[in-house]
Amino acid sequence: MSAGDKLFGRLLHRHPPPPPEPPEALRVPGFGLQMQLNADGRVVQLSGPLRHLLAQQTPGALAPHLLDFLLPHSGLIIEGAPAQWQGQTLDLDFYSLNGPPLHLRGWVQPLADAWLLQMLDIGDLLLERRQSRNREQCQVLALQIAEQLRLCSLTRLPEMLGEQLQSLAQRFQIPCIALALLDEQEQGWQIHQHYTAFDAPQLWQNDQRLGTGLDSLSGSAPQYLTPREHPRLQGMFGNTDGFAVPYHDAQGVVAWLLCGFYTPQQRAPDVTERDWLQITAALASPLLERLREHRHHLQLERLESLQALLGTGWWEVFSDSEEVQLAPSLATTLNLGTSRLPVQDWLDQVYPADREELRICLQDLQASGMPLLLCVRLYRPDDGLEPVWYRLQGQALGVGKNRRLVGFMHDISDIKNQQQSAAATHARLDNLIASSPAVIYVQRYDEGALQPVFFSDSLFPLLGWTLADCAPGTLVERVHPDDRLQYFERTRLLLREGSVRARYRLRDSHGDYHWLLDEAKLLRDDLGLPVEAVGLWLDVTEATLATEQVRQSEERYRILVEDSPAMICRYQPDLTLTFGNRPLASYLELAPEQLPGVNLGNWMSGEQREAFTRRLNHLSPEFPVSTAEINLQLPGREHAWWVWSDRGVFDEQGRLLEVQAVGRDNTEVRRSQQQLTQSAKMATLGEMATGLAHEINQPLNVMRMAIVNVLKRLNNGDVQVDYLIDKLTRIDTQVQRAARVVDHMRVFGRRSEIEQQPFNPAQAIEGTLALLSEGMRGKGVDLRISETGFEVLVRGYVDQLEQVLINLMVNARDALLGKREANPDFKPWISLYAERDTHTVRLWVEDNGGGIDPRLLERIFEPFFTTKPVGVGTGLGLSVSYGIVENMGGRLSVRNSTEGARFCIELPIVVPD
């Protein structure tokens, strides 16, 4: 009765029938589990051996409710009070101290003024039922698998096996599953088919060799094996959990079902070893049956094809019936109506001169087992054709009356017919010898060796030899020592294969070596034995030397290109690579064979790629070479700078076909330059510290005085709104002034951007004056600033140009202040102005400090060169400034004017997009 039915019965005031009388065994004290309950369903007392296995979910309660002992789903069965549970069989699941729940069955009966709940353990019954149901399901599954594999076509057999493995993996939640078969040829185990879940690591691959690690386990009892129990399996399972199930047949263990990342006791506890063996047999048995049938069919096809191609066939003589069985192809070749016929009819096909000899040989084979080897002629009188030569071989199998005579027949008519064409062949050979520029020779076969017996007349003009000079021992001595092994191998190959083509060096009568191309063919007699070899020597010395020069040239090119530390490549005008050497592939983290088809612009920003393409467009047949520094974003690296040189390849119309490039990594040098620039910038900030403090202190003093005045007015009670607004406005102005100075110091001190950007040089002039103007004037230096506000763009870094201007003005200030210490009446001034033309903008910094010693002008931009006292200057300011301007494509120069030094910064103007 369901919970709904019980509730519906209570609403109709129906009472359940009294419970059945419990069995006598259940009334025995201490049997199973007894729980004494009060009217509310609370547990008053526990008894029985199963009480020690219970786990209470609310420990410490005085009278826990029965629900505190039950799993949540069992609470739906016992709604209400115990009086409402009478007459029902209760299947309840209790919390257990051992982990798995206790499955108990019982009923409620009245006990005085309480209730007694009698319970029995039905866990084994449920387990047996579940295993029985799983066993039936596994049997049905095994039958379905076997049926699918037996009914599908051979072409679809691998696909069907993969589908069945996938179905098993999904049914039992196995991450990796594979079927391994015994490779009879390699004498080892091999993965035949596997399936891996999409989220699982791949343990195996199809056709993967597993070696012979499973052989030592093949003699085990039919059960599944785990890597923990058998260490030999750990490497096969990648040191993870798994198990292997064998399949036995008449030949022993011939297949294994492998399951990886899987523990059957935990993942499929209801599936027994017998079930796994049954599933494995369902996979392996039909598969092996189909594969063996297929191999047998292929062997028969190969045998038939081989017999048809060779013009041969097998035969077998049955002694008891005096009949002979011929291969169907042989019977068809001999135009016999049947493949089984009397021995006498078979002998009648043999030429009379050979028939008796064949009969005697067959009798000797039958009587003593002497092997049969005989060449006979067969003829067909009805066809009127020439006799056909066959070579018969046979042997005896078995002993006594059970002896069988088997063998084969091979058509050797072609060999016999060679004698008939020998005369025509010799005539053609004589004509060839007379007109050929090569040396034609004949070597006679004599006891395994080839003896020279003939050379054409062209031998003497080529090598200065005669036939007497070509005896076997003498000829080998004239072969170059490095080629003698090759010469001996040429002779063995000629005797084995029947033809040969070799190249080696021979020494002529003057001691010079000639490269000869030796082509020879071996002639055989009717029995197939070697008779003589006919060949020719062709002088290929010039071609061989030319080929060697080409090979050496290619080797030098390979060493130059492939082993060069520089990056060498070729690419099309759209930057698609057609070739790249190993250093380039290493930088791009690709294999050399992956470079063709890759676009070099993929590692550049849009601006860098546009500049790169624009530079290529400027190449021409008159100026095919261009060199620049390019910036790339390489895999796994922040940024890289390459010094890149391109050479264009043009067609006859002057169109760019291809670009050949050589590059080297300049990243470390560029980073060192950036670090040096940053260090010089920070040194400049350090030198400007005093002036910057003055820049900040001055607005602070103004604000302090304004506040003092306002406080005085407040103390005197004389407060006017206009006066307060004026003072507060002045304070706000000074605060903004100090904030601009601090913000500009922060922007100026940070690192420059990775790529150059277009900017107006007037921004650098404004930033320089913002940092230096007040300090300069405070020290009595007059700043003469001309008009610099015209609109023009240059490419580079605005903070670095500002650094250059600061360096020039600070150096001028120091020189001017030093001169004023010597002459108090001296009036120092610094002039900063700009001018431009069509392509260039020039920034001038000039002073009246008297100029620079002409002998030092050439060294003034050298690193660490300074005219200041020791400990005062680093000597890096002008050197770094020179590098910054040069990196922006410009030039920094200096000369003396009538009153002092005059520095000029020239920068190319860029056209905005």
pLDDT tens for each residue of 479-527: 899 998 988 898 889 888 889 999 899 888 888 898 988 999 999 888 8
- In this prediction, residue 224 has a pLDDT band, given cuts at 50, 70 and 90, of low
Tokens of 214: 């499973």
In a domain, 285, yes or no: yes
Q: Among the listed ranges 414-418, 817-821, 879-883, which one has the minimum average pLDDT value?
A: 414-418
Tell me the pLDDT tens digit for each residue of 756-774.
Answer: 788 888 888 888 887 777 7
Instruction: Provide mean pLDDT across the span 27-47.
Output: 75
Range of the domain at 741: 720-908
Q: Which residue has the higher pLDDT, 73 or 28?
A: 73
- What is the Cα–Cα distance from 439 to 459, expressed in whole angstroms? 6
514 and 602, same domain (yes or no): no
The CA distance from 833 to 390, in Å, is 112
Mean pLDDT computed over 154-176: 88
- Determine the pLDDT at residue 254: 85
Interval 865-874 mean pLDDT: 51
Lowest mean pLDDT among 143-152, 319-328, 593-602, 629-638: 629-638
Q: Evaluate whether residue 222 is within a structural domain.
A: yes
Among 522, 546, 570, give the residue marking a domain's end: 546
Across the range 415-433, mean pLDDT stands at 69
What would the mean pLDDT of 245-259 be, rounded to a whole number? 86
- Look at 775 and 871; give whichever has higher pLDDT: 775
Residues 261 and 371 in one domain: no
pLDDT for residue 857 is more than 90: no
398 and 445 co-located in one domain: no
Nearest 5 degrees, angle CA 462-CA 463-CA 464? 105
Q: Assess if residue 743 is contained within a domain.
A: yes
CB 587 within 8 A of CB 567: yes
User: Is 355 a domain residue?
Assistant: yes
The pLDDT score that the predictor gives to residue 439 is 84
pLDDT digits (tens, 9 = 90+) for 444-478: 888 878 888 888 878 888 888 887 777 767 788 88
Contact 794, 759 (CB under 8 A): yes
Residue 28: pLDDT above 50? no
- Residue 339 in this model has a pLDDT that exceeds 70: yes
Q: Are residues 579 and 526 in the same domain?
A: no
Q: What is the pLDDT of residue 58?
A: 57
Query: What is d(CA 145, CA 162) in angstroms, rounded to the nearest whole number?
Result: 11
**CATH code, 215:** 3.30.450.40
| In-domain check, residue 230 | yes
Q: What pLDDT digit, counting tens, does each position of 617-654 carry? A: 888 989 888 888 888 777 666 677 788 889 999 988 88
Which residue in 123, 88, 74 sits closest to 103, CA to CA? 123
How far apart (Å, rounded) are the C-alpha atoms in residues 64 and 44?
8
Q: Provide, rounded to the nearest whole percent, the portion of the chain with pLDDT above 90.
A: 4
pLDDT tops 70 at residue 554:
no
Give residue 906's pLDDT: 93
The helix/strand/coil state of 397 is: strand
Q: Side chain identity at 631, as an amino acid letter?
A: N
pLDDT in tens, 656-670: 989 989 888 877 766
Do 78 and 147 fall into the same domain?
A: no
* 290 and 315 assigned to the same domain: no
Q: Write down which residue in 625, 642, 665 finishes a domain.
A: 665
CB-CB contact of 349 with 341 (8 Å):
no
> Residue range 813-827: average pLDDT?
86
pLDDT for 907 equals 92
For the cut 60, the answer to whether the pLDDT of residue 245 exceeds it is yes
- 457 vs 287, residue with greater confidence: 287
For the CA atoms of 265, 268, 270, 276, the dihedral, rounded to the nearest 10 degrees, stands at -90
pLDDT score of 394: 87
Amino acid 239: pLDDT: 78
Greater model confidence, 478 or 708: 478
β-partners of residue 515 are 505
CATH number for 392: 3.30.450.20
Sheet architecture: strand order including 404-411: 340-342, 323-326, 312-318, 404-411, 388-397, 372-378
Does 166 share its domain with 292?
yes
Please state the rounded mean pLDDT for residues 75-79: 75
What pLDDT is attached to residue 16? 43
Do 204 and 55 fall within a single domain?
Answer: no
For residue 282, is pLDDT > 80? yes
Within-domain flag for 698: no
Residue 747 forms part of a structural domain: yes
Give the pLDDT confidence of 108-159 residue by residue, as tens digits. Answer: 889 888 888 888 888 778 777 777 787 788 888 888 888 888 888 888 888 9
pLDDT of residue 77: 76
Based on the structure, what is the number of domains in the chain? 6
Q: Are 769 and 838 in contact (CB under 8 A)?
A: no
Query: How many of the other CB atoms lie within 10 Å of CB of 109?
Result: 18
Q: Is 867 exposed, middle or buried (0-12, 13-18, 19+ CB in 10 A)?
A: middle
Residue range 849-865: average pLDDT? 75
Q: Indicate the residue among 297, 332, 357 that finishes a domain.
A: 297
Same domain for 9 and 137, yes or no, is: no
Residue 11, pLDDT > 80, answer no
Q: What is the pLDDT of residue 408?
A: 81
Over 60: is that where the pLDDT of 17 sits?
Answer: no
As a whole number of angstroms, the distance between CA 615 and CA 610 comes to 9
Are 448 and 515 found together in one domain?
yes
Is the Cβ–Cβ distance between 832 and 903 less than 8 Å? no
Query: Residue 803 is encoded by which pair of tokens?
Result: 């650094």
- The per-residue pLDDT of the chain, averaged, comes to 78
CA distance 237 to 436: 69
Cα-Cα-Cα-Cα torsion 458, 463, 464, 468, nearest 10 degrees, comes to -80
Confidence of residue 672 (pLDDT cuts 50, 70, 90): low
Q: Is residue 427 located within the same domain as residue 376?
A: no
Give the pLDDT confidence score for residue 178 in this predicted structure.
92
User: Alpha-carbon distance 386 to 393, whole Å?
Assistant: 22
- Weakest-pLDDT range from 222-231, 365-374, 768-777: 222-231
Residue 816 neighbours by CB distance under 10 Å: 24
Burial label for 589, CB within 10 Å (0-12, 13-18, 19+), is: exposed
pLDDT tens by residue, 52-64: 788 765 555 567 8
Least confident of 327-341, 377-391, 411-425, 679-693: 679-693
Q: Which pLDDT belongs to residue 733?
A: 66
Give the length of the chain.
913
Least confident of 144-158, 592-606, 720-734, 791-805: 720-734
Of 165-179, 628-642, 884-898, the range with the lowest mean pLDDT is 628-642
705 found inside a domain: no
Q: What is the mean pLDDT of residues 327-342?
A: 81
Do 249 and 324 have their domain in common?
no
55 against 13, higher pLDDT:
55
More confident residue, 858 or 889: 889
Q: What pLDDT score was predicted for residue 904?
A: 93
Neighbours of 322 (CB within 10 A): 10
CATH number of the domain bearing residue 725: 3.30.565.10
